[in-house]
């Protein structure tokens, strides 16, 4: 059976492998985002992060979350003590989210509990749907006006 030569197949395979490695290097912040009424909720997994290292800011409608997990040092200089396996990552983590218009950026709240950062982002009052009342003007009878 013959196969068609594709000079980009190996390059594409390599690119996909690198992309998967970068995405799964353990430094990602898995995130859930949902809306409940007039509030958007973002939940990010940040296990083992010191809450004091979490930095959240909004600049030009871009929300940035940064956090740091410190490296652990174990054992001594003795060869009998030390790491046997080390898979948990450490270092600085960062994630950015573009925020659309219609959100109340001044009222964003953050809570860190059990390794999960929860952000609540309310919808701005001016962006909430509202009903507009229809008024009517009294009908003027032209015959009565001329009399």
Name 57's bridge partners: 64
> In percent, how much of the chain has pLDDT > 70?
72
Kindly report the average pLDDT of the chain as a whole number: 81
- Largest pairwise CA distance in the chain: 113
Interval 26-66: pLDDT, tens: 567 899 999 998 899 999 999 989 999 999 999 988 999 99
What integer pLDDT is reported at residue 102 of this predicted model?
86
Tell me what the mean pLDDT of segment 114-122 comes to: 95
Q: What is the pTM of this model?
A: 0.67
What integer pLDDT is reported at residue 110 of this predicted model?
97
120 pLDDT tier (thresholds 50, 70, 90): very high
Q: Is 67 left (phi over 0), alpha (psi -120 to 50) or beta?
A: beta
Q: Give the contacts of 55 (CB within 8 A, at least 6 positions apart).
A: 64, 65, 66, 67
Q: What stretches of the chain adopt beta strand conformation (E)? A: 31-36, 39-45, 55-59, 62-69, 91-98, 109-113, 116-122
96 pLDDT tier (thresholds 50, 70, 90): very high
What integer pLDDT is reported at residue 15 of this predicted model?
63
More confidently predicted of 129 and 76: 129
Is residue 116 pLDDT above 90, yes or no?
yes
């Amino acid at each position: 059976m013959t196969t068609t030569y594709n000079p980009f197949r190996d390059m594409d395979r390599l690119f996909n492998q690198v992309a998967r490695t970068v995405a799964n290097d353990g430094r990602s912040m898995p995130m859930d985002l949902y809306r409940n009424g007039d509030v958007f909720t973002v939940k990010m997994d940040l296990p083992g992060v010191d809450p004091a290292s979490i930095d959240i800011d909004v600049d030009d409608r871009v929300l940035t979350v940064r956090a740091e997990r410190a490296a652990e040092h174990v054992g001594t200089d003795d060869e009998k003590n030390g790491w046997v396996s080390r898979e948990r990552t450490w270092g600085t983590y960062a994630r950015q989210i573009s925020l659309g218009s219609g959100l109340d950026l001044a009222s964003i709240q953050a809570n860190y509990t059990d390794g999960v950062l929860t952000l609540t982002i309310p919808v701005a009052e001016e962006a909430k749907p509202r009903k507009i009342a229809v008024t009517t003007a009294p009908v003027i009878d032209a015959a009565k006006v001329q009399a």
